[in-house]
């Protein structure tokens, strides 16, 4: 039985001139990078552009990857900087910039949601809605911590902030998510959770 | 109804990742074909070469050391040098200094203990 190649093995192959090995790296990480991009861009077209850009930037800089951290951590750093520059370029309204406007949008959305509750009972949809109300950095922290298998120190490296700050922001983001989810799901919470 | 911490954690861990379009990998690889192949900045050096050079240096240093010992005459007597630091030490070791020294030690120990606890809590989060 053949051993599955590690990210490091694939990087070595790419650096030795086998560009095709990079496609395996793309396949392994594309879903997570794309998820992060969607959370930032809020639409799939832009997210796809951001995600592709990340992989191309990572390929260009692969020779500078020092291997002192995981490839995923390094890739997520690129994703974060790419997504942030994209947001700046496109001037997408984020909560951190236009908090009040988003609050208004959210209020509108909440009433829509109560109407749609019966037809769309996916927990993920509500979770996405709740996550969308967080600031971009907090979205990154929550997603990396719970889905990206990144430690607080690794997330701190990605976001270029102290691990303690990451920890505090994670706690605050959790509290905010909890509050939003309770509001969105109301009495549906338990039913959805245990279905 | 309230959502407890465990349920929230479970929800977050179970959240689904988004799936990009089917042509995503192909699109990336097509663009990569237009890029220059990346080159590792680290020069590849065989470990045996490193060990070889280290061994030569170690042998040379040990050789010089042995040669120096063999050719040293131990009959010479070293000149007596007396340095009296008792006055300076007594001046420095005041009760105030000792209290300050112990206080700083306690602070350092508490900071270290705190960092250990923080790391433990971070792991259990």
Look at residue B9 and tell me if it is in a domain.
no
Counting the structural domains of chain B, the total is: 1
B85 compared with A29, residue with greater pLDDT: A29
Look at residue B20 and tell me if it is in a domain.
no
Residue A185, pLDDT > 50, answer yes
Backbone angles phi, psi at A57, to 5 degrees: -60, -40
For chains A and B, CB pairs below 8 A equal 115
Residue of B12, B35, B36 with shortest CB distance to A146: B12
Percent of chain A scored above 90 by pLDDT?
37
pLDDT at A117: 42
Look at residue B6 and tell me if it is in a domain.
no
For domain A99-193, the CATH architecture is Orthogonal Bundle (1.10)
Q: What is the mean pLDDT of chain A?
A: 80
pLDDT band at B1 (very low <50, low <70, confident <90, very high): low
Q: What is the ipTM of this complex?
A: 0.72
CB burial class (10 A; 0-12, 13-18, 19+) of residue A188? Answer: middle
- CA atoms within a 13 Å half-sphere pointing along the CA-CB vector of A103: 5
- CA atoms within a 13 Å half-sphere pointing along the CA-CB vector of A114: 9
Q: What is the pLDDT of residues A119-145, one digit of tens each?
A: 345 677 788 888 888 888 899 899 999
pLDDT at B45: 61
**Domain topology for A7-90:** Rna Polymerase Sigma Factor; Chain: A (1.10.1740)
pLDDT band at A16 (very low <50, low <70, confident <90, very high): confident
User: In chain B, which residues have their Cβ closer than 8 Å to the Cβ of A32?
Assistant: 17
- Say what the pTM is: 0.61
Look at residue B16 and tell me if it is in a domain.
no
Look at residue B2 and tell me if it is in a domain.
no
pLDDT band at A33 (very low <50, low <70, confident <90, very high): very high
> Which residues belong to CATH 1.10.10.10 in chain A?
99-193
Nearest CA to CA, how far is B36 from chain A (Å)? 8
Q: Quick check: A147 and B17 CB within 8 A?
A: yes
Residues 6+ positions from B69 with CB-CB distance below 8 Å: none
CB contact residues (below 8 A), chain A span 130-169, against chain B: 142, 146-147, 151-152, 163-164, 167
A65 compared with A93, residue with greater pLDDT: A65
pLDDT at A30: 93
Task: Please name the residue of chain B whose CA is at the shortest distance from the CA of residue A147.
Answer: B13
Q: What is the DSSP letter of A19?
A: T
> Which residues belong to CATH 1.10.1740.10 in chain A?
7-90
Domain with B93, as residue range(s), is 25-76+83-124
Residue A106, pLDDT > 60, answer no
B37 compared with B74, residue with greater pLDDT: B37
Look at residue B72 and tell me if it is in a domain.
yes
């Amino acid at each position: 039985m053949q051993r599955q190649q590690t990210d490091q093995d694939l990087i070595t192959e790419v650096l030795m001139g086998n560009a095709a090995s990079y496609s395996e790296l793309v396949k392994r990480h594309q879903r997570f990078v794309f998820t992060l991009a969607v959370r930032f861009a809020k639409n799939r077209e832009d997210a796809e552009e951001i995600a592709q850009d990340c992989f191309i930037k990572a390929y260009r800089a692969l020779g500078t990857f020092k291997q002192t951290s995981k490839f995923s951590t390094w890739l997520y750093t690129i994703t974060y900087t790419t997504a942030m520059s994209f947001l700046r370029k496109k001037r997408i309204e984020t909560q951190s910039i236009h908090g009040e406007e988003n609050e208004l949008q959210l209020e509108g959305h909440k009433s829509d949601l109560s109407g749609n509750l019966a037809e769309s009972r996916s927990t993920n949809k509500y979770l996405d809605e709740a996550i969308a109300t967080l600031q971009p950095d907090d979205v990154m922290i929550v997603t990396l911590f719970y889905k990206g298998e990144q430690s607080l120190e690794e997330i701190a490296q990605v976001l270029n902030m102290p691990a303690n700050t990451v920890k505090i922001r994670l706690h605050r983001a959790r509290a905010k998510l909890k509050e939003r989810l309770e509001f969105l799901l109301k009495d549906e919470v338990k039913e959805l959770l245990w279905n | 109804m309230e959502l407890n911490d465990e349920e929230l954690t479970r929800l977050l861990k179970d959240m689904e990742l988004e799936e990009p379009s089917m042509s995503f990998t192909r699109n990336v690889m097509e663009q990569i074909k237009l890029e220059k192949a990346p080159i590792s900045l680290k020069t590849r050096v065989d470990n045996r070469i490193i060990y070889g050079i280290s061994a030569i240096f170690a042998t040379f240093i040990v050789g010089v050391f042995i040669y120096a010992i063999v050719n040293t005459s131990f009959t010479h007597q070293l000149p007596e040098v007396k340095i009296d630091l008792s006055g300076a030490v007594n001046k420095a070791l005041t009760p105030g200094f000792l209290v300050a020294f112990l206080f700083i030690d306690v602070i350092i120990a508490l900071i270290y203990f705190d960092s250990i606890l923080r790391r433990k809590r971070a792991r259990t989060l």
